[in-house]
């Protein structure tokens, strides 16, 4: 597999405060990677850095669903492709959605079991439904790389497993911050653990067990 991105000794932070330190990381096209670690370890910062470098190839699933709650679910999912359509087409779809776009958005929503919410106000959805709508937007986006920051945190494990399957099937490469150890081991092929802003573990999922990862969530 060819390298999608390589970070060599990278550091990053916010407002002059360093968060990541000396990050060495190569991600190959086609990998499914779980970024793990306790809260505040630097997972989101790493995902943001990767997204900055890969933005033109990336569909993003933010930690907060980031839906416009006054708009319909259709319009929120359609936003995944706003930049690939003319202003005229986007404005037309705001008032009177085209049948082809309704069908395409409906297919993305069906993948996350939300087809019946197509024209429901996004603000009427539960937290888990909003998260699934955010995933549908990334699926509709259609770019080859998906970066997700805790994309299934509001879902039960059975539902989360289904959504992770859809995310990975819908993109060539998946880079996902996850907190559920069994889900990460089952649905990704590589685990990268961040602790205090540094990569402390980087190994194939098949070589790891829950016992190897639990220590990074204590304290």
Torsion from C-alpha of 35, 47, 59, 119, nearest 10 degrees = 90
pLDDT digits (tens, 9 = 90+) for 176-203: 999 999 999 999 999 999 999 999 999 9
Residue 219 in this model has a pLDDT that exceeds 70 = no
Structure tokens at 57: 């190839």
Assess contact for 34 and 204: CB atoms under 8 A: no
Q: Determine phi and psi for 210, rounding to 5 degrees.
A: -55, -35
Task: Quote the tokens at residue 207.
Answer: 């070589």
- pLDDT-based confidence at residue 218 (cuts at 50, 70, 90): low
Nearest residue to 174 (alpha-carbon basis) of 57, 88, 92, 64: 57
CA 151 to CA 163: how far, in whole Å? 9
> pLDDT (tens digit, 9 = 90+) per residue, 159-182?
999 999 999 999 999 999 999 999
Question: Which residues lie closer than 8 Å to 54 by C-beta, 6 or more apart?
Answer: 4, 5, 145, 147
Would you call 144 helix, strand, or coil by DSSP? coil
* Count: domains in the chain: 1
Name the residue range of residue 33's domain.
Answer: 3-217
Q: Are 27 and 185 in contact (CB under 8 A)?
A: no
Token couple for 122: 């996004």
- Give residues with Cβ within 8 angstroms of 121, minimum separation 6: 69, 70, 71, 72, 73
The CATH number covering residue 205 comes to 3.40.50.300
Helix, strand, coil percentages in the chain from 3-state DSSP, rounded to 5: 45, 25, 25
pTM: 0.94
- What's the whole-number mean pLDDT along residues 73-89? 90
């Amino acid at each position: 597999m060819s390298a999608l991105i390589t970070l060599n000794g990278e550091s990053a932070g916010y407002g002059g405060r360093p968060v990541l330190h000396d990050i060495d990381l190569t991600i190959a096209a086609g990998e499914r990677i779980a970024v793990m670690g306790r809260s505040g370890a630097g997972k989101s910062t790493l995902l943001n850095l990767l997204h900055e470098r890969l933005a033109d190839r990336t569909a993003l699933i933010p930690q907060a669903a980031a839906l416009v709650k006054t708009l319909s679910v259709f319009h929120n999912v359609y936003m995944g492709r706003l930049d690939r359509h003319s202003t005229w087409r986007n404005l037309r779809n705001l008032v009177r959605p085209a049948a082809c776009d309704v069908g395409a958005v409906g297919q993305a929503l069906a993948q996350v079991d939300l087809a019946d919410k197509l024209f429901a106000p996004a603000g009427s959805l539960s937290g888990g439904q909003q998260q699934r709508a955010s995933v549908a937007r990334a699926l509709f986006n259609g770019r080859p790389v998906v970066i997700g920051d805790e994309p299934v945190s509001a879902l039960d494990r059975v539902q989360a497993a289904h959504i992770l399957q859809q995310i990975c099937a819908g993109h060539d490469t998946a880079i996902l911050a996850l907190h559920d150890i069994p889900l990460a081991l089952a649905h990704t092929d590589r685990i990268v653990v961040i602790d205090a802003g540094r990569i402390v573990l980087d190994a194939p999922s098949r070589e790891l067990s829950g016992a190897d990862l639990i220590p990074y969530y204590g304290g």
